[in-house]
A and B are shown apart, each in its own frame.
Chain A
Amino acid sequence: MRTLFHSIPHTHPLYYVALLATVAAGIGILALLQALPTRLRRPLIALVTFLGGLYYAAEFFIPTGWGVHKGVDGNFLSPYFDKVANISSVLGSFSIGLGVFSLIGMHLRIASRRRESWGFSLMLLISFVAMTIFTLLNEYAGKSVVIPSVAGHSSITNHDIYVVLFNGGLASLDSAMFALIGFFIISASYRAFRIRSVEATLLMASAIIVMLGQVTLGSWLTGGLPSHGPLAFFRFENMSEYILVHLNAPAQRAVTFGLALGVLATSLRLWLSLERGLYFDQE
């Protein structure tokens, strides 16, 4: 990218020639791909998947110092790391429209056909449009868009509306949603703890100690115990810390190792197109 494709100032006519030629080439490649025989499609997908992961794998496995001057970190592929990461995030960002299209398309259909509860869908669409517009305005126009006063009220800016939508709407509802999950976790745990077994008792005891170790009630309950010496261990805050640092950490680390190995194996299967299933077996 650094050597093959030199940047051209956008004021230069050649920039537009390059831009148009690349667009034409891109469309041409898409047309060629579409003309490809069906039996070649799967091998091509496998090849593209392999090439996609090859950069990171090669950059990782090629020893430090290869193809670079002495004292420079990494190998000859390392300088392109940020560029490839940018390509990855840009491509990934293009896919956000898939989710947005599905959601908005579904609610547009419900609202336009006035199906049951269409009012909720309409509110979703209004809040979506408003948030998109005012977030973009807030980013690029600052507080410059002034909405004229209505019925004697003082005029407001786009930033004021953004604050209402973000702080009053999104942030408040987000916190409330997560707080709500707390109720359901407690309700689920109540049902789980009714199963009387050694494991359930241990889980509950550990949870209670950790919770009491973080609130003033816990400190108050065991506040009579000395803060130094062997008995200090039985203060809730100390027991909680011991569970979190010395018992929870190694168990979590073991689970993490298992997860990491699983992710690594799955990534390898994806990279080498060994993964099978409904999605991967399609022609």
Chain B
Amino acid sequence: MSADYLHHLLLPKLLLGAIGTIAILSLVFRENKLYRLFEHVFLGLATGYGLATTWTQVLRPKWWDPMVGGGEWIWILAAPLGLMFYGVYTKKFAWMARLIFGLYFGLAAGTVFQGFAEEYVPQIRASFKPLIAHGAVTAAMAVNNWIFVIILICVLVYFFFAFEQNSAVIKRSASAGRVMLMIAFGAIFGSTIMIREALLIDRIRFLLIEWLQLGHIFR
């Protein structure tokens, strides 16, 4: 083993990544102390990064800079409002935390109305597809549109719990919807596994090729 190779193996960035990856993946065999150590390290790093980026990406550019650099003094009011969140830690001021949470819930609920209109209304409109082959709509497209609309209706019927599903048509539509849901869940499941496997392959590539430099074996 050459000194250069040893130096490469011990590079802090690679060494930490390699030991961390092995430690996390070791859970596949059984729970162990190395896994728990790196689980805690991961949690600490992620929390620290989240806290720092909240300041650098949100609070500094949207609150501190306009207030201090831009002279928008009214932003100082956000500080006592923000502090109200921390009322949860005392019995006396706990209700104040609910007050500010209420404001935040209200703001979040308001954005949902707008989000519904912007995101879902176009989707509802796009679901009314041409079902008859005419002009630019070919026969194959019309068949696919029929399939799309039938699946959409069947799955929606499956989720209708507002009334009892007594009618034979409703019952059959709902059971067809259930079958379609299973196919869709299978597709989502397959895609999810592929994404996770891609990450696993990336980690194995990191260990074997980037860290251990065994790329020549696979060529």
Contacts and interface: CB of A to CB of B under 8 A. Distances in A.
Interface of A: 1, 5, 7-10, 12, 15, 18-19, 22-23, 25-27, 29-30, 33-34, 41, 44-46, 48-57, 59-60, 84, 86-101, 103-104, 117, 119-121, 123-132, 135-136, 139-140, 163-183, 185-186, 189, 198-200, 202-211, 214-215, 243-244, 246-258, 260, 263-264, 267-268, 270-271, 273, 279, 282-283
29 contacts: A5-B74, A22-B73, A41-B99, A48-B99, A52-B107, A53-B110, A60-B113, A86-B63, A127-B43, A135-B56, A140-B56, A168-B13, A170-B46, A172-B203, A175-B21, A175-B199, A182-B196, A182-B199, A185-B189, A206-B183, A208-B190, A244-B187, A247-B187, A251-B155, A254-B155, A254-B159, A255-B181, A267-B108, A271-B110
A22 B28 CA distance: 56
A91 B100 CA distance: 9
Interface of B: 12-18, 20-21, 24-25, 27-28, 36-56, 58-59, 62-63, 68-86, 88-89, 92-96, 98-100, 102-114, 116-117, 119-120, 123-124, 127, 144, 147-149, 151-152, 155-156, 159, 177-194, 196-197, 199-200, 202-203, 206
B109 A248 contact: no
Q: Which 6 A-B pairs have the closest CB atoms?
A: A52-B106, A206-B186, A56-B110, A94-B82, A182-B196, A131-B48
A223 B44 CA distance: 48
A250 B37 contact: no
A41 B95 contact: yes
Nearest to B152: A250
B41 A186 contact: no
A251 B77 contact: no
Contact of A131 (B49, B54, B100, B152): B49
A40 to B, nearest CB: 11
B182 A203 contact: yes
- Most A CB atoms within 10 A — which of B28, B88, B181, B184? B184
A279 B102 CA distance: 11
A122 B85 CA distance: 27
A185 B80 contact: no
A189 to B, nearest CB: 7
Contact of A103 (B12, B45, B47): B47
Contact of B73 (A19, A95, A273): A19
A131 B107 contact: no
B25 A179 contact: yes
A123 B37 contact: yes
A170 B183 CA distance: 36
B216 to A, nearest CB: 22
Contact of A124 (B28, B40, B94): B40
A246 B148 CA distance: 6
